[in-house]
Structure 1
Amino acid sequence: MTILFYVDEGGTTWNDKQTNLFFLASFAIHVQDWSQMEREVSALKKELLSRREPEDWELKGRDIWQGLGSFKNCKQEIRLGYFKKISQTLNQLPCHIFAVQVNKKRLQETRGDIKDDIDLYRLSFNQLLEQLDDYLKQYNETGILLMDSRSAHHTSIQDDRLIRVYRDWKSQKESSNFVELPLFGVSNFYTGLQIADYVVYLNDRSSKESETARGNAELEEAFNLLEPKMQLVKIPILQHKIHFEDRSNEG
């Protein structure tokens, strides 16, 4: 069997001092469950914005939180409720979530070899690849990486860098359960990439809100709904939480 891994990034770049965390996350689902994902997320999008066709707008956590794009006319309390609805839908899907959180400030204190965004992405992508490959080998499955393209239409420089990171990682492995090189797509065309975007934003925003005096109960509830499906690695590694569901219930 084959697992699709949709990958996206979030947070801030290496030299951005405003916030301190960088995230890389993957939404994983078996190919035989892909149609269920498409069907249920399409129904969810129709519920959120009933006057628009699901394929005509992109599910983005940032837009929901800030009231941008398709959500610019939605009241804040309604938009906050959308986070719970989305997490409830994902909670019911036979999926897993893998995430890497990089604390840039702590990393700068412990690693002198990380100097720019390329080094930051290499470190986090290598860690994510290790998580995904270990999971594939644990269940003797093959995997396909589907990446949110970071390149503009006139250049493929950023995607080329990612391919080099992947090739370097794979050259150091005796074996890997991934099939082919990573594939690239534009998120507004791919439901899985939109979910990966949501997962990254939820992790990022939840971390920021947890540091405030008030926090945000709706966001915390949305995060808690996904946490049992999530394997999160923090860099520098402070703790490693693994939550694998019983695969006998995945149909």
Structure 2
Amino acid sequence: MTIENSIHATPDYLSLLRLDGRGYIVLGAGQGIGEQTVHALAQAGAKVLCVDRDEQLAHAIADKVGGIPCVADATQRSDVQRVFDTARKQFGRVHGVIDIIGVAGIKPLAEFDDEAWDRQFDIVVRHAYLAIQIGGEMMKADGGGSLVFVGSLAGNRAVPNEVVYATSKAALHHLVRCAGVEYAPYNVRINAVSPGFVRTPRLNQRLDESAWQTISDVIPLGRPATPAEIAGPLLFLASDLSSHMAGEIIEVDGGVGVMAKFPKVTFGPSTTPTP
């Protein structure tokens, strides 16, 4: 197709969302955003390797979508290598990875010790580094693919008592940007979604309804996201609809990130003279 023809050609947009016959890996597939992402990929036609540290959760979601369960600790190099080797053996080729893994350590910076600091960076950044290094090279050799990560609003803004978590997410965001540029020439696209407040099963265990209402009050859309509302943008980044995106961080936060915090004041009448 010539450049002129490609400019005017109208693609089949729905087909660009389809992933029929392609092999995908979901890291952290067992619940919440990961579980919904597995459903999204499967509904788009993908074959999915469902990876989780919890064997029961990995098998449960794989059974729901006809996927393949895989138990692994994605912070360990040997486990990540095994995950990609398994996917290639099962699917013939790995077309994409969606990495959901991340847990927030929420407490003042002074209360962290070195072990807790290292653990926070392992659970947010290390598995992403391993997935890009191992999976990115595999996709590079196979002609391309897509790696998508889940960042956080905390990686873009200062959030109370989340200094370490926020710093690790900011590191993840910049890993995505830098690696996205490095791998783009090989048609390996690396991007991320940055959610705000999401009503996941894990957070539901930690927050009561009054806390959720307090959170809802600061979100312009008036409520936190559901896991499915994050899985949708993840599916977009995994598909060919996002074929010209590399190193991007998409904020999906209900408008929180673009809102400036101002005091509530009442302005009196203008004293500016009328011309």
Q: Same fold (TM over 0.5)?
A: no
- State the structure with bigger RCO (CA 8 A, min sep 6), 1 or 2: 1
Q: Normalized against structure 2, the TM-score is what?
A: 0.29
**Bigger radius of gyration among the two:** 2
